[in-house]
Amino acid sequence: MTVVIEREEWELNPLAYVFLFVSCFASIFLCPYFSKGSAKGAASAYPFDLGPSAPFLRFQRSFLLIYSIASVLFGASSYFPVIEVLQTISGEYEYMQYGLGREQMALVLAAGAAGGLFLGTFSGILFDMIGPRNACMLYCVLHLLVGLLKTVRWLRSMWVESICLALASSVFHFCFETWMVTEHEKHGHKQDLLNDTFWLMTFYESASLVGSQGVANILVKDLHKKFSRLGAFAALFAIITILYIRKAWKGNQDVSIIGSYRKSFSAHVLRDKKIWILVWAQASIHFSVVVFWFLWAPTIVADGREVHLSRIYPCFIGSRMLGSTAFPLFSGIASSLHTEDSLTASFVIAAAALSIVVYDYQEIGLLVILFCIFHACVGFILPSLAKLRYLPNELRGGMITLSLAPANAVILLVLINRAYNRSIENSTIMALAACGLLTAGACIHILRRWRKHPRQNWRNL
């Protein structure tokens, strides 16, 4: 007697892609209509309007092009930040191909987290002193090295790759932003135009991640050659980025003296309570994003039905794009809300979305909706935090990597725990991420109240 086991398959409605695509473009092109109420003579709050000057548009487009290419390498959308989409589209499968069990996988990732914690934390301070251009070059060189290691099988070392990618991830979080802000200030462009570039960075990065997945799907048809092809493609993109940086960025960067930098960093970062609030907010969103990419797949497939995860992934990235397009609408000149008010609401909504997942198991469709809401909030939060980082440009890298240190420390502890005794459940980790988001929202609300105080010398953002 033959027993036939039927497997039920859950499919995503294709209209979800259409909805996200139409919503993004509607949000972009309707932005000028909602910005008409801004004060006369104010700078344009919309990057595609005729307000920005031609030199700024050339600068912005050139930067966004190189940032998009670099984002293909980075790919923060994998299940762990030190492993990017282009390099490891299916990281767990790749580890299994090299005979690593789940405990060994956790240890390899823990090595990456340790590299991000101990090396990445000080990389921002180092490159603040020697210049962000060198940081961008190091980022590309690290990806070039990893691509070569993946291409040449006898040179492969999962430990070296994990540490290199962890360091590259930390450098990516600050190097291009610092470069852009420094050049923006050097050319004397307006502050409103800088805010536009912040949300466009999130938008273009997300679009690059979706594009990199499409390219990877083309390259990985042959499973026996997929990793070497991805490595070669990543190395090629790294070389292109290096050449473009050398051509587009020819200016000299002043080198800071260690003593003067230490005094400035202590005065503007370590002794400023407002900066510490932003540090905690950045750490919370970073940790929650990492937790999401760890747990979203196990959470969805726990239903028991067969799911094509590669078809759901673009919805998350598309939601982040949609969230970034809402930034000029809620944070522009015409908006009656302050940046801190919108940011607080975004943190609370993101925490609520993760909390619902933690509270009880939900149907797959509802889980996808909740995760999309979370990513839409992330798309709004990232440019908002960049806008609030009002401190000297020569300290920006150190402040950002300092923000990543608490998140990397908790990630390291979680990975070590999962590698040995597995005493922490997935729901506990996600609940911890939700609590972090709630506390971040509370901190931003406190920052808003400090801003109202007449004695506070906080810039009117």
Mean pLDDT of the chain: 78
Which amino acid would we find at residue 107?
Answer: L
Does 393 fall in a domain?
yes
Q: Which residues, 6+ apart, have CB-to-CB distance to 292 below 8 Å?
A: 354, 371, 374, 433
Contact 151, 228 (CB under 8 A): yes
Over residues 425-442, the pLDDT tens digits come to 888 899 999 999 999 999
Residue 307 forms part of a structural domain: yes
Q: What share of the chain is helix, strand, coil (3-state, %, to 5)?
A: 75, 0, 25
pLDDT value of residue 350? 96
User: In terms of pLDDT, which residue wins out, 272 or 46?
Assistant: 272
Residues of 143-162 as b/e, b for ≥16 C-beta within 10 angstroms?
bbbbbebbbeeeeeebeebb
User: Does 457 have pLDDT greater than 70?
Assistant: no
Summarize the confidence of residues 127-143 as an average pLDDT: 88
Q: What is the pTM of this model?
A: 0.85
Q: Which of 127-131, 155-159, 439-443 has maximum average pLDDT?
A: 439-443
With beta carbons less than 8 A apart as the criterion, state whether 216 and 170 touch. no
Instruction: State yes or no: pLDDT of 284 exceeds 90.
Output: yes
Tell me the mean pLDDT in the region 447-457. 65
| Residue 385, domain member (yes or no) | yes
pLDDT score of 374: 96
- Spacing of C-alpha 251 from chain mean position: 27
* Region for residue 63 given its phi and psi (left: phi exceeds 0; alpha: psi -120 to 50; beta: otherwise): alpha
Show the 3-state SS of 181-232.
Answer: HHHHHHCCCCHHHHHHHHHHHHHHHHHHHHHHHHHHHHHCCCCCCHHHHHHH
Q: Does 26 fall in a domain?
A: no
291: which 2 tokens?
Answer: 């937790």
Domain assignment present for 5? no
In a domain, 9, yes or no: no
Task: Tell me which residue range forms the domain holding 176.
Answer: 62-249+266-455
Q: What's residue 266's pLDDT?
A: 86
* pLDDT > 60? residue 454: no
Q: Examine residue 79 and state whether it is found in any structural domain, yes or no.
A: yes
132 pLDDT more than 90: no
Number of domains observed in the structure of the chain: 1
Residue 91 lies in a domain: yes
Tens-place pLDDT, residues 41-95: 444 445 444 455 677 788 888 889 889 888 887 653 333 333 333 333 345 555 5
Q: For residue range 380-396, what is the model confidence (pLDDT) as tens digits? A: 999 999 998 888 888 88
pLDDT band at 447 (very low <50, low <70, confident <90, very high): confident
Which SS3 state, helix, strand or coil, does residue 286 take? helix
At which residue do the structure tokens 């953002």 appear? 461
| CATH number (domain holding residue 114) | 1.20.1250.20
